A and B are shown apart, each in its own frame.
Chain A
Amino acid sequence: MLKEYKTVAEVAGPLMLVENVEGITYQELTEIELPGGEIRRGQVLEVDGDKALVQVFEGTSGINIQEAKVRFLGRGIELPVSMDILGRVFDGMGLPRDDGPKIIPDKRLDINGFPINPYARDYPSEFIQTGISAIDGMNTMVRGQKLPIFSGSGLPHSRLAAQIARQSKVLGTEEKFAVVFAAMGITFEEAEYFISDFRRTGAIERAVIFINLADDPAIERIATPRMALTAAEYLAFEQDMHVLVILTDLTNYAEALREISAARKEVPGRRGYPGYLYTDLSGIYERAGRIKGRRGSITQLPILTMPEDDKTHPIPDLTGYITEGQVIISRDLHRKGIYPPIDVLPSLSRLKDKGIGAGKTREDHADTMNQLYAAYARGKEAKELAAILGEAALTEIDKKFSQFADEFEYRYVAQGEEQDRTIGETLDLGWELFSLLPRAELKRIRDEYLDKYLPLLEEEQEDGN
């Protein structure tokens, strides 16, 4: 029988101080029973002698100091897992939210997990074809990568994430695949968009969904991504599945963290976020990857909305330092009606070099990728110059680059929401665009590839003329 304490001394914001406790440990799971029998859960944030500071996940409203009963459960927060979690919807604390039965656990896992030993990691190098040129061609994703989408309010990041979830595949393999989706503080409509898309495509049967909506308790969001990643680790490393984890929206998560930090009166770092935000976020993002000798993998696709589209805001900034690149959604491109509005210049996939080339995508991929970047960047510069001085101020060659930049945006970046381009199609599209430029300007491409791929196009054009 667990001891029950009725010694709550203070309740302030999401925090509760319990006195005269004994045998309490750091990060222990706590149950708070309200007079009506309602049970809320919390976690020990600090133990100091006989006092325990507890963060209450479901909020502290209605807690009465005299009547609340507190039990410490002697373990951390755990998620019961089994293969039956596939196809189910849970709340932010891992309780079923759909009408399905309770999960009969195969095992219970601590949601904080443990860091993967760097020695045990296997380097991600398998190309994932998302069918989206701006990603496959320019910012190639690989299995086991953590690649966030940096977006802003009102931009179509959800549609993009759903499209990636729908179309992602590793070429030439038939392996078990699952999607884990965690919603943190997003609206009902946004969450519903994902769920109905999963339903429409049948993906729901191999999806595990954790939902904490905007009107659900904010502090619960601290646990939600950890629940999702624990489920993902189980599926990936114990059930050999390739798991894509979509976490949305990390900005809400970080705000919940700030709320607790402020309630604890901690010395704030930048913009009021706690100094340990980096360490805390890395505890989430670093749970992606591959492990030697295990078949499964965890690929993470976190979404965050940048306040005021500001990439230097602490949340995107620290995220960028931990994740292996970022896909940046641009408001300008969105206004131009380009979908997906991926701004390829500041976007980056750090692991792309290991996932591309002969045997993985195609031999010319690395060179053409570099050339497309360089040419697009130069074209954008030329366009800026033209905006100031007028088109006439451009040299002949700059005009060509300027035209290239436009074509690149409208033909290469832009594509349909249901359009699933193969990597071959994406690469060929790149060569088609190169034909707008003189060969001498294609400095980043090896001669052998120019000889091999460029003339085909030139012939075609000549035939056309």
Chain B
Amino acid sequence: MEVGRVIKVSGPLVIAENMGEARMYDMVKVSDTGLLGEIIEVRGDQASIQVYEETAGLGPGEPVYNTGMPLSVELGPGLIEAIFDGVQRPLDVVWKKAGDYITKGVEAVALDREREWEFVPRVKIGDTVQAGDILGTVQETIPVEHRIMVPPQIASGKVIEISQKKATVTDIIARLETENGTIELTMMQKWPVREGRPYKEKLGPYIPLITGQRILDTLFPVAKGGTACIPGPFGSGKTVTQHQLAKWADAEIVVYIGCGERGNEMTDVLMEFPELLDPQTDEPLMKRTVLIANTSNMPVAAREASIYTGITIAEYFRDMGYSVALMADSTSRWAEALREISGRLEEMPGEEGYPAYLGSRVAEFYERAGRTICLGSDNRDGALTVVGAVSPPGGDLSEPVTQATLRVVKVFWSLDATLAYRRHFPAINWLLSYSLYQENVDPYFRELLGEKWIEMRREAMRILQEEAELEEIVRLVGIDALSPEERLTLETAKSLREDFLHQNSFHDVDTYTSIDKQFRMMELILNFHHEALKVVEKGELDLDLEKLFALPVRERIARAKYVEEEDLAMLQEIDTEIKQQIGQFSGEGGEEEIA
């Protein structure tokens, strides 16, 4: 293949000539240090290349080698527990080769070529298989069985050789006889990142992704295979929320992309995830996690690639029939990378300097999520849920990235700086957020918890809405203008906020709440409300509301969140106490102290 020649260097953008054979999105190696790059524009025999590594020290005249391949990821055993950069170089290998700093031109293959895996076939010699069929499995980690599939490119074939053996990702594990002759298969596939992996059919999402986060599961659930976004100003808890999802969501595989964010946040995940146990499997969370880390100071073009690298890996696991959750933190940094490259290409800018194609790129990305029937004759289904953080400048949601995102995602978790200042975490505003999956997942909840769950949720939401209106009145004319019923509503709303929605992610017990416990906690708060309402509605003149609200059981309701999952019976006790104490209170007409 012809060798190109650099003629211009401007930041991460390099222009080379003598590139007549180049195709759009081909990978190239720039200069003899082998800096990775990708062709993003072709003009005559000139090609514009975005380089995934630092370009300082690069100048005109240096060679450019075309690999003739688009930017692709390696898919096979060895992905789980790994930490990759934006172009899938394993950072631990880079560290061994280059030391503590990421220097230029470090070559590192994504999947370990030396490591041997125990391949157990699922098909026999003589079986006919088609694209997506599972040839066999590798127990990659204790919770993750890696299913080795026939690559999508192979329509069908007859197995002529396969056996149980120890093999590396490049060893041949099976031979197929196809129309185009014999094909040798390894455990590794390659797939271009900018192209979604094929599936048979897309399905609607109906099962909620249980996250253990009360406000999310109860009020704004995301469905498995759905999309959600978390926009919020800095300090409002985007990353903590994303980490909580990565930790506790009941997905079988988690792909976490740190896209243009802080280095220490990735270190945090790297140190914490091996320690924490997945409530579903009781195995360390790391054993189901793939990390992509392209921090803010790492090359900007690789940041652009990182979310594609991540979602392609996630799709691959979905193809196996898994429920996969992908967290991208933050998609705004990816959009900024797009803007930077676009600016260097001297493209005509759209809003705020972002390229005009921002909206379509955002939509393409989220559209790769979904619940699908995977390729393969067994019609298994898999789901890929995508949760993207958005970092709007100054917290202004009217900016282009947030708007482009809101046009495509179905769940909006709106982070609120005021709540964050009050240290109400997760600082998700319950009045602004929405989930369009509520209807989809209601049948699931109805079956699990009964109609009462849905009624309680509606009632809670109504109380919170009313609180907002009543507070307006209080602000104008003072609390004395409210009727006792209204004051009770305010009190219950406060309890909902502080005792239910507020959740401390750094507290051992509070960090995760099962659906069952969420149900009971909500029940306690609303039962108190109903019982108290009975007293209030009697309309006694000497009713001392302050005393009613200060019943000792209130404190127990408030502390219900710290009750461990094994001791849920204790919540039953509290429920009994509510009836007792309110009964006593109304019996005494609220005149005397309650013992």
Known: A46-B10, A123-B264, A279-B340. A25 touches B57 (CB 8 A): yes
Residue in A28, A123, A345 whose CB lies within 8 Å of B421: A345
Q: Decide if B454 is an interface residue (CB 8 Å cutoff).
A: no
Known: A46-B10, A322-B296, A351-B264. A291 touches B333 (CB 8 A): no
Residue in B7, B391, B396 whose CB lies within 8 Å of A48: B7
Q: Please report which residues of chain B, range 548-579, place their CB below 8 angstroms from some CB of chain A when the two chains form the complex.
A: 550, 555, 558-559
Contact B475 A388 (CB under 8 A): yes
Known: A116-B263, A121-B267, A291-B100. A25 touches B54 (CB 8 A): no
Contact A346 B101 (CB under 8 A): no
Q: Decide if B541 is an interface residue (CB 8 Å cutoff).
A: no
Contact B336 A118 (CB under 8 A): no
* Bound form: Cα–Cα A159–B577 in Å: 55
Q: Which residues of B contact A345 (CB under 8 A)?
A: 421-422
* Bound form: Cα–Cα A283–B333 in Å: 14
Contact A267 B343 (CB under 8 A): yes
Give the Cβ gap from A294 to chain B, nearest Cβ, in Å.
8
Q: Nearest CB to that of A292 among chain B residues?
A: B100
Known: A278-B333, A279-B340, A351-B264. A119 touches B94 (CB 8 A): yes
Contact B478 A389 (CB under 8 A): yes
Q: Which residues of B contact A276 (CB under 8 A)?
A: 11, 300, 336, 340, 343
What 0/1 readout, one digit per residue, does chain A (180-200) give for beta carbons within 8 Å of chain B? 000000000000000000000
Contact B235 A346 (CB under 8 A): yes
Q: Nearest CB to that of A353 among chain B residues?
A: B506
Q: Nearest CB to that of A385 among chain B residues?
A: B475
Contact A25 B58 (CB under 8 A): yes
Q: Decide if A105 is an interface residue (CB 8 Å cutoff).
A: no
Q: Decide if B498 is an interface residue (CB 8 Å cutoff).
A: yes
Q: Decide if B8 is an interface residue (CB 8 Å cutoff).
A: yes
What 0/1 readout, one digit per residue, does chain B (439-480) give for beta carbons within 8 Å of chain A? 000000000000000000000000000000000001101111
B8, B54, B339, B393, most chain A CB atoms within 10 A: B393
A76, A118, A119, A291, most chain B CB atoms within 10 A: A118
Give the number of residues in A that approach B within 8 Å (Cβ atoms): 78
Q: Nearest CB to that of A271 among chain B residues?
A: B393
Known: A23-B59, A324-B262. A123 touches B295 (CB 8 A): no
Q: Nearest CB to that of B499 among chain A residues?
A: A443
Contact A76 B422 (CB under 8 A): no
Q: Which residues of A contact B263 (CB under 8 A)?
A: 115-116, 118, 121, 286, 289
Known: A114-B101, A115-B298, A279-B300. A48 touches B235 (CB 8 A): no
Contact B393 A270 (CB under 8 A): yes
Contact B421 A346 (CB under 8 A): yes
Q: Which residues of A contact B83 (CB under 8 A)?
A: 118-119
Q: Which residues of B contact A120 (CB under 8 A)?
A: 95, 99-101
Known: A26-B55, A76-B56. A119 touches B92 (CB 8 A): yes
Q: Nearest CB to that of A47 among chain B residues?
A: B9
Q: Please report which residues of chain B, range 324-375, place their CB below 8 angstroms from some CB of chain A when the two chains form the complex.
A: 333, 336-337, 339-340, 343, 349, 352-353
Q: Decide if A374 is an interface residue (CB 8 Å cutoff).
A: yes
Q: Which residues of B contact A373 (CB under 8 A)?
A: 422-423
Q: Decide if B284 is an interface residue (CB 8 Å cutoff).
A: no
Q: Nearest CB to that of A124 among chain B residues?
A: B264
Q: Which residues of A contact B498 (CB under 8 A)?
A: 443
Q: Decide if A395 is an interface residue (CB 8 Å cutoff).
A: yes
Q: Decide if B87 is an interface residue (CB 8 Å cutoff).
A: no
Q: Which residues of B contact A440 (CB under 8 A)?
A: 550, 555
Q: Decide if B180 is an interface residue (CB 8 Å cutoff).
A: no
Q: Decide if A60 is an interface residue (CB 8 Å cutoff).
A: no
Contact A321 B391 (CB under 8 A): yes
Q: Which residues of A contact B421 (CB under 8 A)?
A: 345-346, 377
Q: Nearest CB to that of B101 among chain A residues?
A: A114
Contacting chain B: which of A9-17, A30-38, A312-320, A401-409?
Answer: A312-320
Residue in B7, B101, B352, B559 whose CB lies within 8 Å of A49: B7
Q: Nearest CB to that of B267 among chain A residues?
A: A121
Q: Which residues of B contact A50 (CB under 8 A)?
A: 60
* Bound form: Cα–Cα A395–B421 in Å: 23
* Bound form: Cα–Cα A294–B480 in Å: 63
Known: A24-B59, A117-B95, A121-B264. A278 touches B100 (CB 8 A): no
Q: Decide if B181 is an interface residue (CB 8 Å cutoff).
A: no
Contact B102 A27 (CB under 8 A): no
Q: Which residues of B contact A322 (CB under 8 A)?
A: 262, 296
Give the Cβ gap from A277 to chain B, nearest Cβ, in Å.
9
B91, B101, B349, B559, most chain A CB atoms within 10 A: B101
Contact A270 B555 (CB under 8 A): no
What 0/1 readout, one digit per residue, does chain A (365-395) give for beta carbons within 8 Å of chain B? 0100010011001000000010011000101
Residue in B9, B102, B550, B555 whose CB lies within 8 Å of A117: B102
Q: Decide if B274 is an interface residue (CB 8 Å cutoff).
A: no
Give the Cβ gap from B423 to chain A, nearest Cβ, in Å.
4
Q: Which residues of B contact A124 (CB under 8 A)?
A: 264
Q: Please report which residues of chain A, range 275-313, place their CB below 8 angstroms from some CB of chain B when the two chains form the complex.
A: 275-276, 278-279, 282-283, 286-287, 289, 291-292, 294, 311-313
Q: Which residues of A contact B234 (CB under 8 A)?
A: 317, 320-321
Contact A49 B56 (CB under 8 A): no
Contact B353 A275 (CB under 8 A): yes
What 0/1 readout, one digit per residue, does chain A (326-357) give for beta carbons within 8 Å of chain B? 10000000000000000001101011010000
Q: Which residues of A contact B126 (CB under 8 A)?
A: none
Known: A115-B298, A268-B353, A374-B423. A47 touches B271 (CB 8 A): no
Give the Cβ gap from B150 to chain A, nearest Cβ, in Å.
34
Known: A119-B92, A377-B422. A312 touches B396 (CB 8 A): yes
Q: Decide if B61 is an interface residue (CB 8 Å cutoff).
A: yes
Q: Which residues of A contact B103 (CB under 8 A)?
A: 114
Q: Please report which residues of chain A, range 1-59, place their CB below 8 angstroms from some CB of chain B when the two chains form the complex.
A: 22-28, 45-50
Residue in B266, B339, B422 whose CB lies within 8 Å of A118: B266
Q: Decide if B297 is an interface residue (CB 8 Å cutoff).
A: yes
Give the Cβ gap from A409 to chain B, nearest Cβ, in Å.
16
Give the Cβ gap from A148 to chain B, nearest Cβ, in Å.
11
Give the Cβ gap from B171 to chain A, nearest Cβ, in Å.
28
Contact B91 A118 (CB under 8 A): yes
Give the Cβ gap from B256 to chain A, nearest Cβ, in Å.
12
Q: Decide if A237 is an interface residue (CB 8 Å cutoff).
A: yes
Q: Which residues of B contact A324 (CB under 8 A)?
A: 262, 264
Q: Decide if B293 is an interface residue (CB 8 Å cutoff).
A: yes
Q: Which residues of B contact A417 (CB under 8 A)?
A: none
* Bound form: Cα–Cα A181–B235 in Å: 27
Q: Decide if B539 is an interface residue (CB 8 Å cutoff).
A: no
* Bound form: Cα–Cα A117–B266 in Å: 10
Q: Which residues of B contact A353 (CB under 8 A)?
A: 506
* Bound form: Cα–Cα A27–B474 in Å: 61
Q: Which residues of A contact B233 (CB under 8 A)?
A: 312, 317, 320
* Bound form: Cα–Cα A266–B11 in Å: 13
Q: Nearest CB to that of A388 among chain B residues?
A: B475
Q: Please report which residues of chain A, range 210-241, place their CB below 8 angstroms from some CB of chain B when the two chains form the complex.
A: 237
> What is the interface of chain B, defined by CB distance below 8 A to chain A?
7-11, 15, 54-61, 83, 91-92, 94-95, 98-103, 233-235, 258, 260, 262-264, 266-268, 270-271, 293, 295-298, 300, 333, 336-337, 339-340, 343, 349, 352-353, 391, 393-396, 417, 421-423, 474-475, 477-480, 498, 504, 506, 546, 550, 555, 558-559
Given contacts A117-B95, A279-B260, A389-B477, 4 further A-B contacts (CB under 8 A): A25-B58, A275-B340, A346-B235, A395-B546
The 9 A-B pairs with the shortest beta carbon distances in the complex, nearest first, are: A312-B394, A282-B296, A25-B59, A320-B234, A114-B101, A27-B56, A286-B297, A118-B266, A119-B91
13 intermolecular pairs with C-beta atoms under 8 Å apart: A25-B58, A25-B59, A28-B57, A47-B10, A112-B56, A116-B263, A117-B101, A123-B264, A267-B343, A267-B349, A279-B296, A324-B264, A374-B422
